[in-house]
Structure 1
Amino acid sequence: MIMNNQGRIRYIASRYSHDGEFDDMYQEILLQLWRSFESFSGESKQETWVFKVALNTACTFVRAAVKQKEIKQSPLHQSMEELQPTQENCQADILNHFMDRLGDTDASLLMMYLDGLSSDDSAKVLGISSNAVRSRIKRIKDEFETNYIGD
C-alpha cells in the first residue's frame, strides 16, 4: 500500500516541510501510517485514507514545529518565483510553479484531483463538502487557464 502511494506521501512531506525537515516529516508520515494501519476499516479507498493520515500528520508536525519556534522564514521549495512559463519549460515545471502559488489546501486538492480521487473522497480527506471540492476545483482550473493558457 505504501509503495502505491509513495509519490503522494513525498509530495505532502515536501509541501509542508521546511529547511531540512523533509526526511523527518516523511518518516513521521510513514510511521503514522504504520501505526494507524489497523484502524483502516476499508470504508474509503486506500488513497483517501493515505491522504488523510499524511495531511493530518503533516499539519501536526508543522504545529509542533511552530510551538517550538523551529520553523525558519524560508520557502517550502526552491524558489520558483522567477519562473515564467515559456516554451522551454516542461509541463512538470509549469505545474510545480502553479502549485507553489496555491495555498496548501488548494494544492493538496489539485493533487488529489490529478490523482483521480473523487470529489467525495477528497471532501472526506479535507473535511469539507463535495460541493466545496467541486467549486474549488473549478476555481483552480479557471486560475490555471487564466495564468498559463490565456486567450
Structure 2
Amino acid sequence: MHREFEQMIVKSQGRIRYIASRYCHEGEFDDMYQEILLQLWRSFDSFQGQASRETWVYKVALNTACTFVKKAVKHKDLKQSISKDTISVTEPAQNNCQAEILNTFMNQLNDTDASILMMYLDGLSSDECAEVIGISANAVRSRIKRIKVEFENQYIGD
C-alpha cells in the first residue's frame, strides 16, 4: 500500500501543488500541501474505484483546500478574499513562455473555473470534472467553452 500511495502522489504532485497554491494565503503553502497529503493518506484505504484515481485525488485535494481555507478564516477572522488578485499582463504574450501565459490566465479565473481548466488540461472528462466540482457535466462544458473564448480574446485576438 505504501508503494501504491507513493506512486499516486508522484503522479499527482503537480495537481496537488497547484491546488494548494491556488487556495492558500501567503506563507501557508507548505501547511496546506501537507494537509492535502495527510487527507489523501487517511482516505487512501477507502478509495473504492467508483471514479478514476485522478478524479478522486482532485476531489480530496479540493475539499481539503476548501476546508483548510474555512478553518483559517474562522481562526484568524480574515476579512480578505481567498481569491488571488488579478495579475495584469504587462508584456506582449509572444514574449512569455506558454507556462507563464497559462499561469497568468489561470490567476485571473475564479477558483472553480481555474480548477475546471486544470482538470480539462489534464485530460479529465466533463463528467469527471463535474463529479469533483459538484456541478453538472453540462455546466462544466459551458464553463470550458467560456474559458476558451476568454483565453482567445485575451491572448490570440483576431
Name the TM-score, length of structure 2 as normaliser: 0.89
Aligned to 1:120: 127
1:41 aligns with 2:48: yes
1:90 aligns with 2:97: yes
Pick the aligned partner of 1:55 from 62, 72, 95.
62
Q: Which runs of 5+ in 2 are unaligned?
A: 1-7
1:11 aligns with 2:18: yes
Q: 1: CA distance between counterparts of 2:28 and 2:110?
A: 19
Q: For residue 136 of structure 2, what is the amino acid of its counterpart?
A: S
Aligned to 2:33: 26
Name the TM-score, length of structure 1 as normaliser: 0.93
Q: For residue 120 of structure 1, what is the amino acid of its counterpart?
A: D
Aligned to 1:132: 139
Give the structure, 1 or 2, with the largest relative contact order (CA under 8 Å, sep 6 or more). Answer: 1
Q: Say how many residue pairs are matched.
A: 151
Q: For residue 34 of structure 1, what is the amino acid of its counterpart?
A: W
Alpha-carbon RMSD = 1.9
Give yes or no for contact 2:23–2:82 (8 Å, CA) kept in 1.
no
Q: Which has the larger share of helix?
A: 2
Per-residue deviation at 1:72?
Answer: 7.3
Q: Which runs of 5+ in 1 are unaligned?
A: none
Per-residue deviation at 1:147?
Answer: 1.0
Give yes or no for contact 1:19–1:72 (8 Å, CA) kept in 2.
no
Q: For residue 105 of structure 2, what is the amino acid of its counterpart?
A: F
Q: For residue 53 of structure 1, what is the amino acid of its counterpart?
A: V
- Share of identical aligned residues, percent? 72
